[in-house]
Amino acid sequence: MDDALLRVRDLVTSFHTDRGVLRAVDQVTFDVPRATTVALVGESGCGKSVTALSILRLVTSPPGRIESGTVELEGRDLLQISERAMREVRGNLVSMIFQEPMTSLNPVYTIGWQIIEAVRLHRTRSRRVARARAIELLHLVGISDPDVHVDAYPHQLSGGQRQRAMIAMALACEPRLLLADEPTTALDVTIAAQILGLLSSLQQRLKMSILLITHDLGIVAENAEHVVVMYAGRVVEVAPVRDLFAAPAHPYTRGLLGSLPRPNAGRTHRLAAIEGIVPDLIALPTGCRFADRCAMRIDRCTREEPDLMAFEPGRSSRCWRASEVSP
Amino acid sequence: MTEPAPSAPLATPSGAEEAPARTLVATQGVSKYFPVPGRLFRRGERFVRAVDGVSLRVRQGETVGLVGESGCGKSTLGRLILRLIEPTFGRVIYDGLDITRRSQRDLRPLRRRMQIIFQDPYSSLNPRMTVREVVGEAIRVHRLAKTRAQEEARIVELLERVGLRADAMDRYPHEFSGGQRQRIGIARALAVEPEFIVCDEPVSALDVSIQAQIVNLLVELQETLGISYLFVSHDLQLVEHVSHRVAVMYLGKIVEQASAPMLYERPRHPYTVALLRAAPRPDPEHKRVRLVLEGEVPSAIDPPAGCPFHPRCERAVAGTCDVEDPPFEEMPRDSGHRVACWNPVP
């Protein structure tokens, strides 16, 4: 993946809490190639959203702090540039959309006003041109009667339409990279399918990369080319999507896949649940963070944490027994 | 207040549904209309038809899955069955007794037999009560233990049954993870030895790996205790996994109902087909023909004339589907597969 648009290396983001320092993102490393969708997968608290916020330097500080690592966008380390330069990056080169559109839509302004502001900030000073662009964007994301809805307030739209409006705002400046944090989790399946279809057609049109943050493996399978699996702040597996589903190389990934209901399996089939719970990030075990839930645990796992080790081009796993996970 | 059990078959007469188990819960044309607020001077004119003439039944030891998108009325139906809200029309029959008009006081003996598990294990447990109090409360209300020691032993037994250690007893809900809290909610429901539990999105708030733990627990409990479930969920794959039979709701009505294998292998209603196609499958090799359903669910305040789904339906027949609501018919006969559609998928 020489042609990576985004290169994240050894990123560490911590939160300083009453109970101690918690490393929500711990030595996270991955690439996002150009015009590609990479899924960042994991369960709540694994650090996937904090990773995205760290890329945009939007971690609330205090209590949060980006401690170390590099986030290179087209060769430029975003962690080293000035706040002023960073503002040029946000919304322009890199945009973010959220699960709850009201996170980024301001309820007291019309959606048109909000898109126009984004366009005028980065693209044109002309209000008239910006308004025309806003209407064009609303049309692009499939909002009906865009010349009317441009003057609508967020509360006048349905959940799906709000999601579309937020996408229009994020895409106003045709970013190279879109960070999509659970973009369809709050939506019904038929609306979610519309939004995901929209994202993929916009991706082809704008040739942008998407970092798709999700807990839904169905969405991963249908939308991503590469997958990064996170667990307790660590990347535990990286793989092309087909390889990940066909032959996972980390017991946690295998566990996640096993815990999904299979079509036609019948009621008597027990789901292969992963027993136990995620470790406390403040009191982490010495060895592998997944060890106490792992069916393949050996002595070494509780003593020594493995590195994220590449074993094939484009594939790596943080497991001592990676080669045995999918025999 | 006891009525004789109706001798005629309940709700929907059926010829050939395999299990001959007795019907535990049934609704007959049950409806819930909520008045639309906000029209100060013209009150009571408009209603949201949250549930609109639904007939459904759940047999002993059976899981009936209820799927649909948000606002389709599936959670309201679950609450109507438990009489947590009052139906506007129709009847609710529990074990042969019409409970529609019973006072809450007369319902009390039946309350023991039916329970509910909620979606959000964070808000459904009183944060000021220890686990012992949460689980023990039901035991006390229904006088299910004679002595303090008996009650204690029963709580320990319940906690172990749901996979919690006895030392969880003196802790508060916030000290537990989401999955563990859901286990506490299940222990509370089981405390009164119910025959029937409405599971309202019981795992939607949980992570995937934890979902599987809870789903396995619910299935196990059914196998050992013979409990019936109404399993309300938006997750089609999960519902297929847990259910014997599945009903699909759209805008307050059941549009299709069949055994789980039948419904998933041969869906007949265009809405069911669209739902199944829209749900992403965790299989990158499966390149689905993306048939994205256009538009959004119409308002339940002024539902469209005719079939509620016709404005979004690609099989809609002009002059029929937009005029008259289709009957809920068994097709083919005696299959137990019912569809409300003028032009079902062959």
Query: Token pair for residue B177?
Result: 């993870």
Q: Residue A66 CA to chain centroid, in angstroms? A: 17
CA atoms within 13 A on the CB side of B217: 26
pLDDT in tens, A182-193: 998 888 888 888
The total number of residues written for chain A in this structure? 327
The CA distances from residue A76 to A4, A32, B130, B201, B231, in Å, are: 12, 14, 53, 46, 52
For A191, name the nearest residue in chain B, comparing CA atoms only. Answer: B296
Contact B197, B116 (CB under 8 A): yes
3-state secondary structure of B15: coil
Contact A182, A103 (CB under 8 A): no
Q: Among residues 141-170 of chain A, which lie with CB inside 8 Å of chain B?
A: 158, 160-161
Does residue B221 sit at the A interface (CB-CB below 8 Å)? no
Of chain B, the percentage scoring pLDDT greater than 90 comes to 59
CA atoms within 13 A on the CB side of A256: 27
pLDDT in tens, B272-298: 999 998 888 888 887 665 566 777 778
B23-113+194-339 CATH pick, 3.40.50.300, 3.10.20.440, 3.20.20.220, 3.30.70.2190? 3.40.50.300
Q: What local confidence, expressed as pLDDT, does residue A116 receive?
A: 92
Name the strand (E) or helix (H) holding B45.
none
* Beta carbons within 8 Å of B153's beta carbon, 6+ residues apart: none
Q: How far is B45 from chain A (nearest CA, A)?
A: 23
C-alpha to C-alpha distance for A38 and A226, rounded to whole angstroms: 5
- pLDDT over 50 (residue B5): no
Q: How far is B213 from chain A (nearest CA, A)?
A: 5
pLDDT in tens, B74-121: 999 999 999 999 999 999 999 999 999 999 889 888 888 999 998 877
* Beta carbons within 8 Å of B182's beta carbon, 6+ residues apart: B117, B121, B202, B203, B205, B206, B214
Domains of chain A: 1-93+176-327 (3.40.50.300), 102-174 (no CATH)
Comparing CA positions, the residue from A183, A300, A301 lying closest to residue A252 is: A301
Q: How far is B342 from chain A (nearest CA, A)?
A: 22
Q: What local confidence, expressed as pLDDT, does residue B2 receive?
A: 40
ipTM, two decimals: 0.82
Q: Among residues 46-75 of chain B, which lie with CB inside 8 Å of chain A?
A: 63, 69-70
For A222, name the nearest residue in chain B, comparing CA atoms only. Answer: B284
Comparing CA positions, the residue from A177, A222, A227 lying closest to residue A195 is: A222
Residues of A in contact with B290 (CB under 8 A): 193, 197
Q: Residue B118 CA to chain centroid, in angstroms? A: 11
Reported as a pLDDT band with limits 50, 70 and 90, residue A36 is very high
Q: Where do the domains of chain B lie?
A: 23-113+194-339, 126-193
Residue whose tokens read 């399946």: A189
pLDDT in tens, B10-20: 333 333 344 56
For B295, name the nearest residue in chain A, comparing CA atoms only. Answer: A191
